[in-house]
């Protein structure tokens, strides 16, 4: 089995490659960067599977970035998928995102995501949804398409919001007492899922997440306990944060709610949710801020 991962040195791509090399010694896994490359100079003919990770992952409010998002996250992704199909690749796995469902719900709003109603609010989500839907249409009996609408992916050395939360937890011991619910996905669970998709030719739109929802304060407390640090939660001003979250999206990134119902993430006969936030805590003790 020959597999090509687009997005060389990306956290997800490199982690999945390491997993497959360890678990599937008969697989030949290559990574490639598509940055500033003419697709016409590449050949996919020798590959059985393409795992497309390449894209712009961060969210920017800079309006000048809008055409770049669509060029990379939409146009490039669709072109790669079409080329893969034309050149005989049998399986295409696309990393979409939970961002296609819009902003996080504010503190206190525990309404789950309606998976049938994407509503992206920024160029990142809009460009990923456009690619997501276009690539689905390429699926047929000879070209197996899997779409992964990923929540926050975390793990050792992961970047983005999870890394920021670890840094904050290292420095601060006083937090508002707020309950929240978020979908999250351990990198090992994602890697295992990709492995299962390849071996079993699983197709369609998938909504992967850990078996247990992520709760911000629960993580902070357990992580700080592992470092021998005490954590204090204050309930008296929580109402202030609830009101503030309506107007400040940054607060919702920490304490807002955004999750898939569990039933959407279970794959019949396939188990991929073996790792969790708890199993990772001791591994991230030494992450520097």
What's 189's domain CATH number?
A: 3.40.50.720
pLDDT bucket at 284, cuts 50 / 70 / 90: low
Burial status of residue 222 (CB atoms within 10 A of its CB: 0-12, 13-18, 19 or more): middle
Residue 248 scores a pLDDT above 50: yes
Q: How far apart are CA 275 and CA 43, in angstroms?
A: 36
Task: Indicate whether 30 belongs to any domain.
Answer: yes
Q: How confident is the model at residue 108 (pLDDT cuts 50, 70, 90)?
A: confident
**What are 138's two structure tokens?**
């390429």
What does the DSSP 8-state code read for residue 135? H
Residue 170 lies in a domain: no
Helix (H, G, I), strand (E, B) or coil at 75: helix
Assigned domain for 239 exists: no
Q: Which residues pair with 205 in a beta bridge?
A: 147
- pLDDT, position 287: 47
User: In the predicted model, is pLDDT for residue 240 greater than 80?
Assistant: no
- Give the rounded percent of residues in the chain with a pLDDT score beyond 70: 92
| Residue 118 phi, psi dihedral angles, 5° rounding | -60, 140
Residue 285 has pLDDT above 70, yes or no: no
Bigger pLDDT: 194 vs 109: 194
Contacts of residues 56-64 at CB distance under 8 Å and 24 or more positions apart, as own/partner, are 56/124, 57/10, 57/160, 58/124, 58/160, 59/99, 59/122, 59/124, 60/123, 60/124, 61/122
Confidence of residue 160 (pLDDT cuts 50, 70, 90): confident
Angle between helices 77-86 and 123-136 (to 10 degrees): 20
**58, pLDDT greater than 80:** no
* Over residues 112-131, mean pLDDT: 96
Q: Is the separation of the CB atoms in 249 and 103 below 8 Å?
A: yes
Per-residue pLDDT at 85: 98
**Residue 289: per-residue pLDDT:** 41
pLDDT of residue 63: 84
In a domain, 142, yes or no: yes
Residue 38 lies in a domain: yes
Lowest mean pLDDT among 174-178, 248-252, 271-275: 248-252
Q: Is residue 242, in this structure, part of any structural domain at all?
A: no
Encoding tokens for residue 63? 């309006």
- Asked whether residue 166 is domain-assigned, the answer is no
User: Could you read off the pLDDT of 182-204 as tens digits, one per residue?
Assistant: 999 999 999 999 999 999 999 99
pLDDT at 286 over 60: no
Within-domain flag for 223 = no
The answer on pLDDT for 246 being more than 90 is no
Range of the domain at 14: 2-158+184-212+260-277
Q: pLDDT tens across 20-45, in order?
A: 999 999 999 999 999 889 999 999 99
Structural domains counted in the chain: 1
């Amino acid at each position: 089995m020959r597999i090509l991962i687009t997005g060389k040195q990306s956290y997800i791509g490199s982690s999945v490659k390491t997993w497959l090399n360890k678990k599937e010694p008969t697989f030949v896994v290559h990574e490639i960067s598509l940055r500033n490359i003419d697709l016409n100079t590449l050949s996919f003919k020798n590959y059985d599977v393409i795992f497309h990770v390449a894209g712009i992952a961060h969210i920017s409010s800079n309006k000048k970035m809008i055409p770049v998002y669509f060029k990379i996250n939409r146009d490039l992704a669709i072109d790669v998928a079409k080329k893969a199909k034309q050149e005989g690749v049998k399986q295409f796995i696309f990393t979409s995102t939970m961002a296609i469902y819009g902003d996080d719900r504010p503190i206190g709003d525990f309404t789950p995501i309606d998976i049938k109603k994407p509503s992206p609010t920024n160029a990142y989500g809009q460009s990923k949804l456009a690619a997501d839907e276009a690539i689905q249409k390429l699926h047929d009996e000879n070209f197996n398409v899997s779409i992964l609408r990923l929540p926050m992916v975390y793990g050792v050395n992961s970047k983005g919001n999870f890394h920021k939360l670890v840094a904050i937890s290292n420095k601060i011991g006083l937090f508002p007492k707020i309950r929240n619910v978020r979908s999250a996905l351990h990198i090992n669970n994602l890697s295992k899922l990709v492995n299962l998709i390849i071996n079993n030719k699983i197709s369609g739109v998938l909504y992967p997440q850990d078996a247990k929802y992520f709760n911000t304060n629960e993580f902070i407390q357990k992580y700080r306990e592992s470092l021998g640090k005490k954590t204090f939660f204050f309930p008296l001003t929580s109402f202030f944060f609830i009101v503030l979250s309506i107007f400040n999206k940054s607060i919702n990134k920490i304490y807002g709610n955004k999750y898939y119902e569990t039933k959407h993430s279970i794959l019949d006969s396939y188990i991929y949710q073996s790792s969790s936030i708890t199993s990772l805590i001791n591994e991230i003790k030494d992450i520097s801020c």
